[in-house]
A = this chain, B = another copy of it.
Amino acid sequence: MEPSEDELIEAIRRVLSGPGPEVIVGPGDDAAVLDAPSGQLVLTADALIEGVHFDLGFTSARDLGYKAVVVNVSDIAAMGASPRAAVVTLALSPQLEAAWVMELYGGMREAADEYALWIVGGDLTRGDLVALSVTVAGDVSPGRAVTRSGARPGDLVAVTGTLGASAGGLRVAAGGRVRTETDRALLRAHLRPAARVGEGAVLARHGATSMMDVSDGLAKDLVRLAAASGVRARLRIADVPVADGATEAEALGGGEDYELLVTLPGLPTLEAAVAELRDAYGVGLTRIGDVEAGDGVVALGDDGVERALDPTGWDHFRS
């Protein structure tokens, strides 16, 4: 027998965070109440829609829940901030079973535990398809948030980790052939991306002038960062760190890698950040270009020719 709505909500409540040291009122009331954040309040929200962001036949409920939290944590990380709490709204199509819903919240809880935040409430409703919306609240020391708009001529452009693994994982899954260790790593990068929270804080501390996470692909996101900052970015394509098993096109246009794209004011800063990220997190930080006066993004190709980067050229990698 399927549980009633109130029974399902009660079951979800048990999967989510109960009252904890920071949670004064948890799930189940009109609103959640938390200890005041220690600095400024940071808020972000993302929706994942069935048929657009995921396919129920391909994505497990647990992976979907996990990723829904991580993509928001990544946005918090990209401000140099720390996640504290999440609220979730979920529209459920009638054919989904209670077990699926519990797995979904289980995946969210897994990510919440990993990134040390509390899932404190939200809303469950009917729908003709699954629509999941997650809001994460975080905090940052006053005045220390790193926006997209602070890049200045003379800054260096760098990116954490490697790019293209998520798009590669999508390709591997679409081809139905997960045979090698590399295939498995690509698929995992797509299904279980990591948010760079500690890394974002390190980069902020080292004086990052602008930062964002690479969610729509390096090409598109670098164009956005340059536009927000009112500068031109010069990108050396040969320097873009490509994930094992991924292609250069996937690294430039694939999206959903959730690495941090950052500008830093000069080489000594970059080198200090590289050393700390390597020692503390085992994560690379690669210089991929420079900031200059002007607008747009100029890409220096492997053939030595410079071209204006047209981000829509990689749009076919997006679903």
Contact = CB atoms under 8 A, between A and B. Distances in A.
Query: Copies per complex?
Result: 2
Interface size class of A (residues with CB under 8 A): 35 or more
A295 B76 CA distance: 43
A30 B148 contact: yes
Interface in A28-50: 28-37, 39-47, 49
A36 B33 contact: no
B25 A32 contact: no
Interface string A12-36: 0000000000001100111111111
Interface stretch (A81-89, A175-183, A236-244, A268-276): A81-89
Given A35-B40, A126-B52, A135 B78 contact: no
Contact of A47 (B35, B51, B90, B142): B90
A97 interface: no
A194 interface: no
A121 interface: yes
B30 A75 contact: yes
Contacts of A212: 29-30
Nearest to A33: B145
Interface in A247-285: none
Nearest to A83: B31
Interface of A: 6, 24-25, 28-37, 39-47, 49, 51-53, 74-76, 78-79, 81, 85, 87-91, 120-123, 125-129, 131, 133, 135, 137-140, 142, 145, 147-149, 211-213, 224, 228
16 contacts: A24-B145, A31-B44, A31-B79, A33-B81, A34-B42, A34-B43, A36-B40, A36-B41, A36-B139, A45-B88, A49-B126, A51-B127, A52-B127, A91-B131, A127-B129, A135-B135
